Amino acid sequence: MVRLLRQPLPWALAALLALTWGMPLLKPLFAAAFPALDRPLYEQDTFAQLVWAHLQVVGLSSGIAVLLGVSAGLFVTRQAGREFRPLVETVVAMGQTFPPVAVLAVAAPLIGFGEAPALIALTLYGLLPIVRNTIAGIEAVPASAHEAAEGLGMSSWQRLRQVELPLALPVMLAGIRTSVIINIGTAAIASTVGAKSLGSPIIVGLSGYNTAYVIQGAMLVGLLAIVADLGFSALARWVSRWRMSEAG
């Protein structure tokens, strides 16, 4: 129990939950800090609803990005897909070249406002680190591991599942971690096309010159990113221990 309390993740998670549910209690503080504001607290939606909506947008877009990114990365490391590697790398690089706001501006008039254009923009923006780290992780597998797997008579699928993926997992996980953290921050712009997220108080605050709203949204986005980063750090440590136990 003492060891658990020394970890930063539980404290960061507790701070996120406390701020999510306790933000209304800070209304007097924001009123004192911004006396010129008639409405110092964002109340169009509860902050719990905004956090949940933000997590849904990030979770769905990141899940699609992981599925597409890992699949593409594995495909171009196979013999049948090596010739497509330059094309895949160019496409995913273009996904981060175009700002998500530009993607939203193009997608929203075509497919309508709401979560759909936001999911497209966030998925495209999150592909690059996943694809790159998947390729890097697979290519970093030692030749001796390949030779040992071939010596044991493993098929290509068995080599991938039992040898390459376990060895490449830490590098792949680092790419997924980067992608998710980027998406948590970038998902705030989803509110510009009508999707509910923690960007709602930020966008409303910026348009209405309400600094208190901006701070409230930004605080929760920042805490959410910190919690996610610490969670991936804990997962990476667990993967490292798992690999050591498997090797032993």
203 half-sphere exposure, CB direction, 13 A CA radius: 16
CATH class of 46-247: mainly alpha
**Phi-psi domain of 247 (left: phi exceeds 0; alpha: psi -120 through 50; beta: other):** alpha
pTM to 2 decimal places: 0.88
Kindly report which listed range (3-12, 165-174, 196-205, 213-222) carries the lowest average pLDDT score.
Answer: 3-12
Rounded to whole angstroms, the Cα distance separating 9 from 19 reads: 15
∠ CA 239-245-246, nearest 5°, is: 90
> What are the sequence ranges of the domains in the chain?
46-247
Rounded average pLDDT over 11-16? 92
Q: For 14-28, what is each residue's pLDDT tens digit?
A: 999 999 999 999 999
Burial-class residue 85 by CB neighbours within 10 Å (0-12, 13-18, 19+).
middle
Rounded average pLDDT over 156-160? 82
Note the pLDDT of residue 2. 46
Rounded average pLDDT over 31-47? 92
Q: For 210-247, what is each residue's pLDDT tens digit?
A: 999 999 999 999 999 999 999 999 888 887 777 666 65
